[in-house]
Chains A and B, each alone.
Chain A
Amino acid sequence: MILLIYAFALSALFIFFSFLIEWIERKIVARIQSRIGPFFAGPRGLLQPLADFLKLMSKEDIVPIGADELLLTIIPILLASLATFVLMFIPIFTPDPLISYPADLIYIIGLSASIGALIVMTGYINPGPYSNVGAARFGELFLSFEIPFAVSVAVPAIISGSASIAEIVKFQENGIPIIVFAPLGFILLLISLIAKVEKVPFDIAEAETEIAGGWQVELSGRRLAFYRLTMNLETLFAAALCVALYLGAGYGPLLDTLGSAMYFVWFFIKLILVVFVISLIEGIMARLRVDQVLRIFWRYMVPLSFLQLILALFVRLIITL
């Protein structure tokens, strides 16, 4: 029963954080493009993501003719639940996450991969050409970024000698984050995660000017609200994963004197920094072509990720000596 209450409370909290992340991201991108960004809803537009969500939730619910209504109801709920559930494995508030067991990192890789597969499915259950093309493009992108993503997630596990996120975080307790041992792994993870959350320059599956929003084009109302929420939660997951695996989680100065509250403060500062980098890339870059994206991932990222994997094995060997 307590776990159910925790799950409810954490789900609400993660939604709040995902809105906050969206606000930060929109503000940064707006500043880069000489705009003000969200402004009217709440102080400095802080409540704009919430207002957008509520607006979509209250809009007319349209299911295109020929689409599977049942699947279009189940998949958004499942996607948002999965995106929240994976966040519960990451120690954001204290060094011990809500859920932890040996090899939970593998579980996270599997769950986040199933999110990708569900997105591909969404595009195909809508009978629109744009939607189908968007799904096919996301499928190609998904196959391209998953190998560098999975390998760069495995690198901290190899270096720390454990596939448990809590153990990887504890490994960085001494003040040396894993990015020091594997900087290439961090860069690969960050690039793969930008593709995973479909941000510019890897937003080929949405590409509004080419395919009018891709796999999302036929979605409206609460379904679109849930898909957008999932994307925000995934961005939060991406940033939190980078912080937990490579940037020393919530460990930093003053932790001993100020206690565990400082852990969260450090985690949050690092999280904002990762979001800042993602937004910066989004703001200054243009969308790549499909062939360019595939070339980047298959020709450069995949071999580099295997190189990083070999280097990580060497690092582990040196640590254990």
Chain B
Amino acid sequence: MKLTLRVWRQKNADTPGAMATYELDGVSQDMSFLEMLDILNEELIVKGEEPVAFDHDCREGICGACSLVINGDAHGPERTTTCQLHMRSFKDGDTIDIEPWRASAFPVIKDLVVDRSAFDRVIQAGGYITAPTGSAPEAHATPVPKADADYAFEHAECIGCGACVAACPNGAAMLFTSAKVNHLNVLPQGSPERETRVLDMVSQMDAEGFGGCTLTGECATACPKGIPLFSITSMNKEWLRATRKVKR
């Protein structure tokens, strides 16, 4: 395959960036999208140019490190992570636009790499449970109904990649925050912090400069893990419940 790539190049956070065009030949249909970028970088290094910086880690679709907005879609045209996207999703001769996540809470560090530590601070605000340390607890000590376990697992699938923020026209982090809140709030292990969790995580989310939800549904469409849009509805419900229970 022969491709024309238009890639966002930006030296650092303080320098304005721009799209740069590269021609790439000899791309196999079986390559992943990131392997295709590896080939581009090898060519750039041979030519003595600066390689394109992009985030990646496990390349198995489970770590949440890879990002990229490909032709306007977070993680590209397939419902998966960029590392699990293959070049067979594109045609010979295609022009592909590659951009970083865009949100003021996710500033660009270099080229396609953005700073997602705002997510870490949202987790620190309440994405944990209080549990005694030591040996593993007896598995049957705290029974969890099957339906609740399934619900928690559906939301626990969130890998925190930030595609929801990238796809949202308001740069909102509602789907990420709601996935984390619902995952723990439905379980008995998470119930001691049920109210403070949702209030603190929402308020940290606001403090990080993410936008608000207008229910466009773009986040759930972009999510590689299929976190449902109703996750946001459930978080709103939890938030309303918590404001009634907690006096601040």
Q: Please determine whether chains A and B interact with each other in the same assembly.
A: no
A residues near B (Cβ < 8 Å) are none
Residues of B within 8 A of A (CB): none
